[in-house]
Amino acid sequence: MNRHIAQADHTDTLHRYSNPRSGEIFVRVYQGQYYVSDKPEDVLCTVLGSCVAVCVRDPVIGFGGMNHFLLPEAASANASGFSLRYGVYSIERLVNDILGHGGERSRLEVKVFGGANVLRGMAKIGTRNSDFVEDYLAREGFKIAAQHLRGDIARRIRYYPTTGKVLLSRISKDMIDIGQQEIKLLNQELLEPGAGEAEIFAKSNSSLPGRK
CB of 83 closer than 8 Å to CB of 77: no
- Residue 51 annotated as catalytic: yes
CB of 39 closer than 8 Å to CB of 30: no
CA atoms of 117 and 94, how far apart (whole Å)? 25
Contacts of 52 (CB under 8 A, 6+ apart): 68, 69, 87, 112, 113, 114, 115, 129, 130, 132, 133, 149
CA atoms of 82 and 105, how far apart (whole Å)? 26
Beta-bridged to residue 198, according to DSSP, are 168
User: H/E element holding 136?
Assistant: helix 125-139
- Among the listed residues 48, 51, 98, 154, the single catalytic one is 51
CB of 130 closer than 8 Å to CB of 149: yes
CA atoms of 29 and 59, how far apart (whole Å)? 21
Residues catalogued as catalytic: 51
